[in-house]
Structure 1
Amino acid sequence: MNAYQLVKDKQAVIFELDEVLYPEKDYLLQVYYLFAQFIEYSEQKNAQTILEFMKDEFEKFGIENLFEKTAQAFEIDLKYKHNFDLLHQNARLPLKLLLFKNMLEFIQSLVVDHKKIFIVTAYCVTRNLQINMFRKVNVKKNIMFFMIGAAGFLASCKKNSDAPDANGSTPVAEKNTLQTPTTNRDYLTRDSIFLYAKQTYFWNVGMPDYDTFNPRKYASDNQVLAALAALPSTGGKDKYSFIDDGTVAGQLGGVSGDYGFSANYDGSNLLRVKSVYATSPAGIAGLKRGYQITRVNGRTTLRTSQSDIDNLNDGIFGSNPSVSLTVVKPDGTSQDLVINRGSYNINPILYSNTYTVGAKKVGYIVFNSFTTNSVPLLDASFAKFTADGITELVVDLRYNGGGSVATSEAFTNLIAPSSQNGKIMYTTYWTKTMQDAQATILENQKFYAKGNDGVTRLYSFFDYSYKPTPAAGNQEVFAKRGSLNGLTRVYFLVAGGTAS
């Protein structure tokens, strides 16, 4: 029977993603590529070799124990299992996924008939098309489900709140008879993760006592963290906690080691260069945003087969030392380029310019990442805007995935007028335990510092106030940076991947 005949009298259709809208393999291979890149950056192991191993194991034996097999084959620390799992949930894929042709035609027919379409994953429901039109409906009469193993997914996502979930209750009293003296460093670390969370974790209200949780029963630090995030007290809201071994801090410093460009398919199904870092190997080779890529390593970019997609993943987003591209420029001329992988400093300001629109001067800036090295670059761009006399500003954050809070503060103060000085920009909320000066575990975090009288003393983080007040230092206020003061309008361009 034609699929449309099954739903013609329904008001909405719900689709599962994997093996329904697109081949699960397409998603997983891109995740494995990203993981291999991460390991190469973190542990200096060859990403291409790791990717080829993972791809071969996946095609022969499937996903079961794939991380464990890879970790054993390449002597990868088991702590990276957490990163591997996170990529499955939150990966920003380098290539868009190609829908099954019959499903694409089916969805097009649903759109023409003004039916509501919902897409579910194992993590949440994505409301797509007419996204504000979801109402209570009789499932049996009005919705046809197209999904695999999706039971329970409809309630898996909830919106985060801005303050701790302190519903009038207090943290569970500690009981730690199982916390026996030990010199085992792994046990001590896992104890610390739990005990610090008990007093400082954003969702600490309702956490179990030590004996009930028993952090020493877990095989790794990341398993302890995952167990904390899975506690009922979080309400499934913790998507952000991770243990940083220094990798994230390094990435925020603004150094990368890839080709230095990204690409995606446009509305006409043409592969185009989305962005290029000027100092990267791609930028030095002459690659420009907007160029159409017609060949990758000698093969077309038409995506007519799985082999074509594999070639794109391996060529553009793999870890090969080089990639050969054939590009078509805006003037219609074609050029062959060979781009070699290399380390480079990121300038996250991809473009800035001043335009004259009638009698107005309009500034435009493409800001790609809140790296810690970008504040001087922002200062220079805004000094140029000031000299040009702009009165309106367009801030393009479509490709910005977030970064340093300190950099975002500086950026905000460059835009905001001096009349906002002293007014609250944002407030940091700590746990109620910390606000009430009950987080005694912070007494263990000691350091020497000069007091207001200039005398150096021994302090601890317990000596700080964590109340959401200016006096406690937990409210950031505007403090004008630079001399751009004449803005009458500011526009922000964002996309689904923007985290700014």
Structure 2
Amino acid sequence: MNKALRLTSYLTILILGLSSCKLKDILPINQEPETFDDTDVNNWIYSEMKDHYLWESDMVDVTQTNLTLNPEQYFESILVKPGEIDRFSWIQTSAEELQASLNGISTTFGLKTKPFYMNSARDRVAFHVVHALKTSSAEKAGIKRGDFITKVNGVNITASNFQSALSPETVTVTLGSYSNGEICDGETAVEITKEVTKRDALQFDTILEIGDKKIGYFVYTQFLTDNDSDLNMMFGRFKSAGINELVVDLRDNPGGYISSAELLSSLIVKNLDEKNLMVRQVWNSKQTALYTQKYGNDVFDTYFFKSKPGLGTINNPGTLERVYFIVTPGSASSSEQLINNLKPYMDVILVGGHTYGKNVGSITIADSEKRWEWGMQPIVLKSVNANGESDFGTKLGFLPDIEVEDNFLPYKSYGDPDETMLHAALQDIVGETALAKLRKSQKVKPSVKFESLSIEAISDNPVLDRKDMFITKFPGE
């Protein structure tokens, strides 16, 4: 199989799922199912980590671990300098739920918000809506980007309760307004209920024509393979329209499938050439020896590609000299790998704040014998670009070329040339004079910088904000 296609997606998620056949149904009569305790689970955890963990050589010996801990505590206890070296591995009680969350499925209102103090007294907090996921309860209730939520179940939001205000399964939220430099309570209240929602990664796209520039712009909120076809079709529209500039909005994209980052890299890159190395993975010594012996020294290399099974021809416009990315500390993992993949081949301009800082990827591991439901997501690889660079793994990630704070309220709609972050990118592309000519009427520009209680926008279900990039096929497959 062609290596470029073979390695477009790396590792198969090691989830084997939960069998619909129950153990008691296949046991001889009068024989009870085998039972397992935490020690059994912990021995399995240690064995799998010793095989796959990127930093396995730094793990303590199993005899130095406490196998009587509950599995979550045990997993945390064997990580290498958690919070410092390993900031990203995790475990949870259900591998099935873990896999669902990685595929953008979660129980949520669909709200992504940022908390701000409502006034100078700082005695009230309001959630400013970044977006409401398509088809979610929030969107169906009419909540949209730019709305303010000032009360939940009739209770004022404050600095002491904002983190738990949206935790109930059903809430009634009061929508506020912006007036004279302050956020005010409104009279509209709507009820929303958490529902199982599948995220649509492409929240918005448009083409802006300003002077002699045709600028493609889209908001991409997670790297999901289910949206790969939509992504390629959108670039087909961009290509047909003859765009010559591109702005990719990753401000709230926490990562996702590495294979989708590779697709987007091939859709954007200047002078698309299948001979050019896109990204190389670094694994632990055990896995490196295993796969290089079986497939050769270049098994961890992925090249740009012009077609992909299931998608056909990749709709790279062929007209881009540079690309702009809107980023914040909420831009992580696969978002950062995309940036790193393109840096050796074209001008990459970052607008906003620093990114999250995650240059490593993971796999999902579940018990192949289906003895328990635990699933873990350990870090197994580090990614480097064609120049051998992987210097975005610090807590500052990539630094912006054009620094812009997204704290000016009220938020404008995605695609509005006056929206704070997009405006900064457009200003660099066409200049302020051209932007002024574009305006058909006098608009109220954001004039007040509000104080936020969080550097990132926050989803009502924390699972949606989990930072990760992960693989879908083993090297060589």
TM-score for the superposition, normalised by structure 2: 0.52
- In structure 2, what is the equivalent of residue 228 of structure 1? 78
The equivalent position to 2:174 in structure 1, one of 304, 325, 343, is 325
CA contact (8 A) 1:276 1:350 kept: no
In structure 2, the residue corresponding to 1:482 is in which secondary structure?
coil
In structure 2, C-alpha distance between the alignment counterparts of 1:462 and 1:392, rounded to whole Å: 40
CA contact (8 A) 2:174 2:185 kept: no
How well do the aligned residues superpose, as a CA RMSD in angstroms? Answer: 3.4
Residue identity in the other structure for 1:343: V
In structure 2, C-alpha distance between the alignment counterparts of 1:328 and 1:279, rounded to whole Å: 24
- In structure 2, what is the equivalent of residue 484 of structure 1? 317
1:213 paired to 2:64: yes
1:411 paired to 2:259: no
In structure 2, C-alpha distance between the alignment counterparts of 1:400 and 1:235, rounded to whole Å: 21
Residues 406-485 of structure 1: matches in 2 within 5 Å?
406-437=259-290, 464-465=294-295, 469-470=297-298, 472=299, 474-480=300-306, 481-485=314-318
Identity of aligned residues (%): 26
Structure 1 residues 223 and 273, CA gap change in structure 2 (3 angstroms): closer
Please say which of residues 384-393 and 479-488 is displaced more in the overlay: 479-488
How far does residue 251 in structure 1 lie from its aligned partner after superposition? Answer: 1.2
Give the strand-richer structure, 1 or 2: 2
In structure 1, C-alpha distance between the alignment counterparts of 2:218 and 2:153, rounded to whole Å: 33
- In structure 2, what is the equivalent of residue 241 of structure 1? 89
Structure 1 residues 224 and 488, CA gap change in structure 2 (3 angstroms): same
Structure 1 residues 255 and 434, CA gap change in structure 2 (3 angstroms): closer
Residues 99-498 of structure 1: matches in 2 within 5 Å?
186-210=38-62, 212-213=63-64, 217-230=67-80, 236-243=84-91, 245-265=95-115, 271-301=127-157, 303=158, 309-310=160-161, 312-315=162-165, 317-328=166-177, 336-341=188-193, 342-437=195-290, 464-465=294-295, 469-470=297-298, 472=299, 474-480=300-306, 481-498=314-331
CA contact (8 A) 2:109 2:192 kept: yes
CA contact (8 A) 1:259 1:339 kept: no
How far does residue 410 in structure 1 lie from its aligned partner after superposition? Answer: 1.6
In structure 1, C-alpha distance between the alignment counterparts of 2:117 and 2:230, rounded to whole Å: 33
CA contact (8 A) 2:149 2:173 kept: no
- In structure 2, what is the equivalent of residue 45 of structure 1? none
In structure 1, the residue corresponding to 2:240 is in which secondary structure?
helix
In structure 2, C-alpha distance between the alignment counterparts of 1:213 and 1:314, rounded to whole Å: 38
In structure 1, C-alpha distance between the alignment counterparts of 2:72 and 2:279, rounded to whole Å: 31
Residue identity in the other structure for 1:255: I
In structure 2, the residue corresponding to 1:340 is in which secondary structure?
strand
Unpaired runs of at least 5, structure 2: 1-33, 120-125, 307-313, 336-477
CA contact (8 A) 1:285 1:337 kept: no
- In structure 1, what is the equivalent of residue 340 of structure 2? none
How far does residue 390 in structure 1 lie from its aligned partner after superposition? Answer: 0.9
In structure 2, the residue corresponding to 1:403 is in which secondary structure?
strand
Q: Which of these two proteins has the greater Rg computed from alpha carbons?
A: 1
Residue identity in the other structure for 1:241: S
In structure 2, the residue corresponding to 1:339 is in which secondary structure?
strand
How far does residue 214 in structure 1 lie from its aligned partner after superposition? Answer: 5.2
In structure 1, C-alpha distance between the alignment counterparts of 2:292 and 2:273, rounded to whole Å: 32
In structure 2, C-alpha distance between the alignment counterparts of 1:384 and 1:224, rounded to whole Å: 50
- In structure 1, what is the equivalent of residue 362 of structure 2? none
In structure 2, the residue corresponding to 1:325 is in which secondary structure?
strand
CA contact (8 A) 2:266 2:272 kept: no
Structure 1 residues 266 and 426, CA gap change in structure 2 (3 angstroms): same
- In structure 2, what is the equivalent of residue 11 of structure 1? none
In structure 1, C-alpha distance between the alignment counterparts of 2:208 and 2:321, rounded to whole Å: 15
Structure 1 residues 201 and 271, CA gap change in structure 2 (3 angstroms): closer
Q: CA-to-partner distance for each residue in 1:233-289, whole Å, 9 max, x for gaps?
A: x89512222235232210122223222122224587564211111211221222221
CA contact (8 A) 2:201 2:221 kept: yes
In structure 1, C-alpha distance between the alignment counterparts of 2:272 and 2:259, rounded to whole Å: 21
In structure 1, C-alpha distance between the alignment counterparts of 2:69 and 2:155, rounded to whole Å: 46
CA contact (8 A) 2:58 2:80 kept: no
Structure showing greater relative contact order (alpha-carbon pairs closer than 8 Å, 6 or more residues apart): 2
How far does residue 394 in structure 1 lie from its aligned partner after superposition? Answer: 0.6
Unpaired runs of at least 5, structure 1: 1-181, 438-460
In structure 2, C-alpha distance between the alignment counterparts of 1:227 and 1:339, rounded to whole Å: 42
Structure 1 residues 435 and 324, CA gap change in structure 2 (3 angstroms): closer
In structure 2, C-alpha distance between the alignment counterparts of 1:370 and 1:351, rounded to whole Å: 15
In structure 2, the residue corresponding to 1:343 is in which secondary structure?
strand
How far does residue 339 in structure 1 lie from its aligned partner after superposition? Answer: 3.3
How far does residue 297 in structure 1 lie from its aligned partner after superposition? Answer: 3.1
Residue identity in the other structure for 2:46: F
In structure 1, C-alpha distance between the alignment counterparts of 2:118 and 2:61, rounded to whole Å: 57
How far does residue 479 in structure 1 lie from its aligned partner after superposition? Answer: 0.8
In structure 2, the residue corresponding to 1:369 is in which secondary structure?
coil
In structure 1, the residue corresponding to 2:226 is in which secondary structure?
coil
In structure 2, C-alpha distance between the alignment counterparts of 1:489 and 1:238, rounded to whole Å: 33
Please say which of residues 480-489 and 184-193 is displaced more in the overlay: 184-193
Residue identity in the other structure for 1:323: T
In structure 2, the residue corresponding to 1:195 is in which secondary structure?
helix
In structure 1, the residue corresponding to 2:325 is in which secondary structure?
strand
Structure 1 residues 321 and 292, CA gap change in structure 2 (3 angstroms): closer
Q: CA-to-partner distance for each residue in 1:342-365, whole Å, 9 max, x for gaps?
A: 333221222111101111100111
In structure 2, C-alpha distance between the alignment counterparts of 1:263 and 1:343, rounded to whole Å: 19
